[in-house]
Structure 1
Amino acid sequence: MIIQIFGKKSCNDTKKAQRYFKERGIKTQFINLLEKGISEGELKVITKEFDLEMLLDIDGNEYKKRNLKYMVYDVKELLCEHPILYKTPIVRFKSEVTLGNQPEIWKNWEIK
């Protein structure tokens, strides 16, 4: 099973996640959210661990630029239409999912 890293190429935490696994010789699949969003199936797995609201990067520049703090919106629809608004990286191994840079959790994954 390969580690999936959902992120943005410009995201420092995504780069840290990629580096973490590369340094340990662990293969990863990088999914650039700016080119391809998260599929329905993947989203179901991810939302078993995290609520949709947790996936929305409310501290990011795009959220502020779009002035979303003062708007009413459907989070799922918003993330599907604008994947740049995801908090990243989202790292998945089997049924386990992390959000953000989480090397303390990753080191406990039984990756072979």
Structure 2
Amino acid sequence: MIQIFGTAKCKATRAAQRFFADRGIKVQLVELREKGLSKGELASVARAVGGVRALYDAESARVKERGLQHLGPSDARIAELLVDDPLLLRTPIVRDGTRACVGAAEATWKAFADAAKGG
């Protein structure tokens, strides 16, 4: 099943939900305000998207709120921060098994949708 990790307030997360709904594909929405990614999930998604830095939203209000914008944290520290505070993640994260993408990635969403319909 396709999972979308994001928040209800995030425009791109809503766009991802709408994308799959328009194609009649059921998804599981994981609201990051309620539940984050486990260390294992984070590692798996990071592998799929080219590393943990791709998941860290360095420009977000949350990063500024926490005073993290001036840090050049290591990948290990970023992974810790993302597990502890899922609102530091770039959204949406769309995951289909071991495959994943982050942000508004309609071409990848389409590939996931096509696989979901064919599978």
Identify whether the pair has TM-score above 0.5, normalized to the shorter chain: yes
What RMSD, in angstroms, separates the aligned Cα atoms of the two structures? 1.4
CA contact (8 A) 2:39 2:83 kept: no
Large movers: runs of 4+ above 3 Å? none
Q: CA deviation at 1:40?
A: 2.5
**Does residue 63 in structure 1 map to residue 68 in structure 2?**
no
- Please, which of 83, 89, 92 is the counterpart of residue 92 of structure 2? 89
Equivalence for 2:18 = 19
Q: Distance in 2 between matches of 1:78 and 1:40?
A: 11
1:52 aligns with 2:48: no
Identity %: 39
Greater shift, 92-101 or 37-46, is seen at 37-46
Supply the AA of the counterpart residue of 2:111: N
Q: Deviations over 1:50-91 (max 9, x none)?
A: 311111111111112222122354111111221111000000
Aligned residues: 111
Higher helix proportion (structure 1 or 2):
2
Give the aligned partner of residue 106 of structure 1: 109
SS in 2 for 1:38: coil
The TM-score, its normalising length taken from structure 2, stands at 0.85
Q: What is the TM-score of this pair, normalised by structure 1?
A: 0.90
Q: Which amino acid aligns with 2:38?
A: S
Post-superposition offset of 1:31: 0.5
